[in-house]
Structure 1
Amino acid sequence: MLLGYAVKRAEEHQINNFWRRRRMWTRILARATRAVAVAGNYSLINQPISDPIFLKIPKSTFPQIFNNPRFLVTSNLDNELSPDSSVNGGDRQLAEQEEGGGGGDTYEVDSDTLESVLRLLQTSADGSLESCLDDMDLTLHQQLVTKITETPFVLSENLIRFFWWAWSERSLEVTTPMVESLVLAICGNDDVRKKKEVVYSLWDLVKEIGEKESGLLNVRILNELISSFSRLRKGKAALEVFDKFEAFHCVPDADTYYFTIEALCRRRAFDWACGVCQKMVDARTLPDAEKVGAILSWLCKGKKAKEAHGVYVVATEKGKLPPVNVVSFLVLKLCGEDETVKSALEILEDIPEEKRERAIKPFLAVVRALCRIKEVDKAKELLLKMIENGPPPGNAVFNFVVTAYSKAGEMGKAVEMMRLMESRGLRPDVYTYTVLASAYSNGGEMEEAQKILAEAKKKHVKLGPVMFHTLIRGYCKLEQFDEALKLLAEMKDYGVRPSVDEYDKLIQSLCLKALDWKMAEKLQEEMKESGLHLKGITRGLIRAVKEMEKEVVEAESITAVV
């Protein structure tokens, strides 16, 4: 408790020192200005203290200025600046002109009154604030309120309460600059960003003023509130401010839409964000390219790639092309849905040629997506464009097209793409040969499959088991078990260890189609030696075929005896 009291007293002492130094320098500037006027026969009228006239006079007059007794005297300093001092009338007039803009009735901000109010607002944080203000019997003026709102070290909570008290209890005539000054002072405070209650209280005050004072609020005031709610991750509150624009006779600008979308996306309210995006697109009021890129990224992360594409189209029409990395991200997300793949293909045309060298990912994604939706010819067309204009396609791009043609049964085009790959200095990998061999095998073209296998052996030292598995399965379908067994032995000689699947498929085919349980048992023994275990259902199949053959032999023996 003692520590808290000490801290509080230290803060009060710091604030009092601040205002004491400020009054001292104000008096020094006022005295210097009057001394200059005496030495150089200048007039004080229409000469603000912030622009002292002694900066504009010749240096030759400086000795007269500093030798002037009024510049050096300190005993009557307080009297010179007192409200009753006739000598200081010029200074008061300067202050009035600086605050009021000159001409007509002017209002002088009393320094003692200002200091008293600030001391109260800087130290009080309890429920007695309004009663203390009532006891002070203040004469409120717009300039006084503006001075208070622009002063640092004032508690934001008290500043809002003071403004509300002055407007509602004392019927202060509020102006747009006053409200704007209040909002900027509070929303620009770093501490406020950690106190959501302060921003909510400020919004309640601004909303009340906007509902009762028609046309007083402007876009900047509302944008600051939306931005503050965005930093606090209060998307619903930001949307509430956005929805009040029409009621307050304000037209949203680019920052309005950006801050609102940002706030909603931070709270993952992507459906609401899409609604705001649609209004932004309809109004064709978009922020700069960097902010457009941020909006596209948020929507894509929220699985709203289709809506992001709508924003992208309008942005490109207005010449606000997002960064290439954002465009690539949008393309990747559009490729995730079959209905938006063609939109992704169109966006690739917007990537500048000088930046395509490092944009292989979006092109690869589009080729893959086109093959997935069975638009293989368009994928091939895009691949040829990549060869011509970049980025240069690699093995992965070719493999997608080769695989798609192989699955479609268009083996001529598939082989053609492989030959094109070779002509560009790329070596088809094991995957390429496996896809082609599998397609030939499924179609019963085992001779072509063997040619692909032979070519793969020449190009690669080691092949995977999948290549042999597809061919063994193809021979089993055609009941060419000798070729299948030969391929199994070749597989071992080539250093590829057969898996359980190869043995299982071959044993089942031998039992069901050839009824050759002897060879099946032999393969089972090989599996045991290799540390592999045959499935129980397949072992049962071997026993069943073996018993069935014995029963047939016994039946034939009995028939022969009879």
Structure 2
Amino acid sequence: MWRSRARALLLLRSSIPRSPPPHPPPHPTPTLTRAPPPRFLSRFLSSSPDPIPDATSSSADPFADAASSSPLDDATEAGEDSLSSMWEETGDADDIFASPGGADAVADDEEVARVRAVVEATPEDKIASTLADMVVDFNEPLLAAVLLAAEQCSCKKLISLFNYAAKNNPASKSLSNLEILVSKVADSDEIDKMDAYLLWDSVKEIGSVPGSVSTPLLNEMIAIFWKLEKSKAALEVFAKFDEFGCTPDSNSYYLVIEAARKKSMFRSACEVCEKMIGSGCFPNGEKVGRIVTFLCDGKKVKVAHSLYLAAKEKTTQIPKSALDFLVSALARNDETIGTALELLEEYQGESLKHAGKSFATVVHALCRTNKVEDANNLLTRMVQLEEYQGESLKNADKTFTTVIHGLCRKKKLQDAKTLLMRMVDLGPAPGKAVFNFVITALSKQGDMEDAKGLMRLMESEGVSPDIYTYSVLMSGYAKGGMIDEAHALLCEAKKIHPKLNRVCYHILIRGYCKMEEFEKAIECVKEMRKDGLLPNVDEYDKLIQSLCLKAMDWRRAEKLLEEMEDSGLCLKGITRSLIAAVKELEAEAMQSKASQEA
């Protein structure tokens, strides 16, 4: 009361017009000055006091005579008399200078310090009883001031303080105080799941009254549960928005999806994402990109694609890395390869210069699904990108190889040869694999001249043909009846590769047997042994069957059987029986001939 009266007196005195006194007093009159009090917690205090009534509005000016002719003492006395009359007219000074919120709108600093000290010093489980012993009347500003000032309090203490104050004075559990509490808890590094659930219980209790909670407050609760990796609790908070009369914003959707990400709850994340798409409220492009990447990780590519298109309509541009990830995920699914191909058109300007990885991914996917013509066309576009100019073109060699392999599988040999020659002329330099794909396809088709020509081109490019290359060509010659050419390739291969595999000899043995040149077939078996390779059951079996069925030569067949047994090999029972059957047939034929001659 006294502070208000003093303040009124000072303001009134400062407004009195004064003339300089004719004779200065022997001692200067002391003037009362008082600095304005510090405005702690200005967020919760009134912005300005009520205006002071205009003293000059009265019908008679109480200071007219004092300004013109009265001494200073008379003027002061007159001013004080006027002040007394103002008390009577306007009421108590506390009412005059009260803030718009009333007397309770300002928290007493001493009371704030006292309550804060007690709360900080009291154990968590005794907060309520200690505050009850203090007999504190918690109004809204007092609780706000204590919550903000309590820097050394645990989350549990702050929540207990808020719950006690709300029970002591329901008016103190305002939205602003609840926001302070939630913000303090969210910023704490010592929060545990019990504190979070206790706080959420308080929010739910207050939220039962419409308008008691806000969207930012619920976002803070979602962030708390995200921080604690309590995804289900975060989803529960999100589900309460409608019940509490709040509308989710872009942060709400992003935070709850990130919380679901902690536990890989892809289905729940998709449901939230669909609601976000329906609302048309999206976070920034960076955050949308994170959501797209997360959904792709969970193989929810269709939802991720829908989110991308919806965000694009709102001019929200996701990072190029997220778009690359989306294209790659769509390309891995056979059903969405077409969508991935369409998304390549999204690369424009600067992003198109470095879109090679995405183009290559779609090319491989098209080849996997036998859409090699589309893959070939896309490859032509890909090599025109700035990323693949100059020396960087060598990075596309795998993509070229994949397309050529696909063309060979589809028997598009002319296209395959054209693309291979493009590699030879312009790059990237072809390796053994891509040459072997085309040589194999040509050999299977019987085009041995082109196949052998490619092997010579292969050598001229500095790529040495491997054993597989020779075996493929030998097989093509053998199937075409050109067994001598096949044998010539074997001799050539032995000069380059000192130790061949048994496939090369197997091809020749079968070829000679097919041509019924059994002596040369047996010579191949001997040559095979000489080169350090032991014939296996398959070579012996094929040769013995051919001798028995085509030459009816059971003697050489028996000799080969003995050779097998000496090597520790066991002939198949059906082939062994075949030798015996041919032998019996020959004996029966000789006996029949002898009978006829007799």
| TM-score w.r.t. length of structure 1 | 0.77
1:409-448 to 2 correspondences below 5 Å: 409-448=411-450
Is residue 162 of structure 1 aligned with residue 161 of structure 2? yes
Asked if 1 retains the 8 angstrom alpha-carbon contact of 2:446 and 2:480, the reply is yes
Say which SS state the counterpart of residue 150 (structure 1) adopts.
Answer: helix
Offset of residue 490 of structure 1? 2.1
**Could you list the runs of 5+ residues in structure 1 that have no partner in the other structure?**
1-32, 52-92
In the alignment, what sits opposite 1:74?
Answer: none
Measure the CA separation in 2 of the matches of 1:383 and 1:229. Answer: 48
1:200 and 2:228 matched: no
Equivalent in the alignment of 2:265? 269
* Structure 1 match to 2:89: none
Tell me the amino acid that sits aligned with residue 122 of structure 2. S
Contact 1:218/1:250 (8 A) holds in 2: yes
Q: String of CA shifts for 1:502-530, please: whole Å, max 9, x gaps.
A: 3344445555x345555444444444454
Distance of 1:298 and 1:316 partners within structure 2? 18
Q: Tell me how many residue pairs correspond in the alignment.
A: 481
1:388–1:536 CA distance, 2 compared to 1 (3 A): same
Distance 1:148 1:457, change over 3 A: same
Q: Secondary structure at the match of 1:335?
A: helix
Bigger mean CA offset, 291-300 vs 344-353: 344-353
Specify the alignment match of 1:281 in structure 2. 277
Q: Is residue 458 from structure 1 mapped to residue 460 from structure 2 by the alignment?
A: yes
Q: Distance in 2 between matches of 1:169 and 1:533?
A: 98
2: CA distance between counterparts of 1:347 and 1:160? 51
Q: How far has the Cα of 1:368 moved from its partner?
A: 1.1
Distance 1:329 1:256 in 2: 24
Gap change, CA 1:129 and 1:510, over 3 Å in 2: farther
Paired AA for residue 171 in structure 1: P
Report the CA distance between 1:493 and its aligned residue: 2.3
Distance in structure 2 (CA, Å) of the matches to 1:40 and 1:502: 119
Query: Deviation string for 1:365-406 (max 9, x for gaps)?
Result: 111111222222222222222344444353333222222222
Alignment of 1:29-178 (within 5 A): 48=39, 102=100, 104-151=102-149, 152-168=151-167, 170-178=169-177
Alignment pair present for 1:550 and 2:554: yes
SS of alignment partner, residue 190 of structure 1 = coil
CA shift for structure 1 position 160: 0.8
* Deviations, residues 434-486 of structure 1 (Å, cap 9, x unaligned): 11111112222223222222222222341222222322333343344333322
Q: Which residue of 2 aligns with 1:536?
A: 537
Q: CA–CA distance in 2 between the matches of 1:461 and 1:313?
A: 48
TM score, norm. by length of structure 2: 0.72
- 2: CA distance between counterparts of 1:454 and 1:543? 37
Q: Deviations over 1:535-557 (max 9, x none)?
A: 43444444555566226589668
What residue in structure 1 maps to residue 83 of structure 2? none
The separation in 2 between residues aligned to 1:291 and 1:229, in whole angstroms, is 19
Counterparts of 1:468-547 in structure 2 under 5 Å? 468-495=470-497, 497-508=499-510, 510-511=512-513, 513-514=514-515, 518-545=519-546
Amino acid at match of 1:198: D
Alignment partners' CA distance in 1, 2:409 and 2:371: 12
Offset at residue 189 of structure 1 (A): 1.0
User: Which stretch shifts more, 37-46 or 145-154?
Assistant: 37-46
Superposition deviation, residue 228 in structure 1: 1.6
CA contact (8 A) 1:230 1:259 kept: yes
Deviations 1:408-428 (A, max 9, x none): 112122222223334434433
What SS does the corresponding residue of 2:256 show, helix, strand or coil? helix
Structure 1: 4+ residue segments shifted above 6 A: 37-43
Show the counterpart of 2:23: none
Further displaced range: 378-387 or 492-501 = 492-501
Name stretches of at least 5 consecutive residues in structure 2 with no aligned partner: 1-9, 15-28, 43-92, 556-581
Return the offset for 1:42: 6.7
Contact 1:491 1:497 in 2 (8 A): no
Distance 1:49 1:333, change over 3 A: closer
Contact 2:547-2:554 within 8 A present in 1 as well:
yes
The range that moved more, 470-479 or 442-451, is 470-479
Deviations 1:130-178 (A, max 9, x none): 2222222221100111112212111210111221222245434422111
Q: In percent, how many aligned pairs have the same letter?
A: 30
Going from structure 1 to structure 2, the CA distance change for 1:473 and 1:275 (only over 3 Å counts) comes to: farther
Mapped pair 1:407 → 2:406: no
Cα distance change on mapping 1:518 and 1:366 into 2, 3 Å: same
Going from structure 1 to structure 2, the CA distance change for 1:411 and 1:41 (only over 3 Å counts) comes to farther
* The one of 349, 353, 360 aligned to 2:349: 353
Q: 1:191 aligns to what SS in structure 2?
A: coil
1:366 maps to 362
Change over 3 Å in CA distance of 1:173–1:117 after alignment to 2 = closer
* Bigger shift: residues 383-392 or 200-209: 383-392
| Kept in 2: contact 1:403–1:435 (CA 8 A) | yes
Give the aligned partner of residue 48 of structure 2.
Answer: none
Match of 1:376 among 372, 378, 390: 372
Of 453-462 and 500-509, more deviation after overlay is shown by 500-509
CA drift of 1:244 comes to 0.8
Bigger radius of gyration: 2
Deviation at 1:128, TM superposition (A): 3.0
Q: Deviations over 1:170-215 (max 9, x none)?
A: 43442211111110011011222xx12211211111112112x212
| C-alpha spacing 1:221/1:48, structure 2 compared with 1 (3 Å) | closer
Q: Hey, what's the Cα distance between the residues in 2 that align with 1:505 and 1:233?
A: 64
Q: Deviations over 1:279-305 (max 9, x none)?
A: 111112111111111112212222222
Q: 1:124 to 1:453 in 2, by over 3 A?
A: same
SS in structure 2 at match of 1:246: coil
Distance 1:384 1:40 in 2: 93
| Aligned mates of 2:529, 2:377 — CA distance in 1 | 51
- In structure 2, distance between residues paired with 1:313 and 1:525: 70
RMSD between superposed Cα atoms in Å = 3.4
Paired with 1:517 and 1:169, the residues of 2 have a C-alpha distance of: 110
The one-letter amino acid paired with 2:202 is: L
Cα deviation, residue 349, structure 1: 1.9
1:50: Cα distance to partner?
A: 9.3
**Secondary structure class of the residue paired with 1:217:** coil
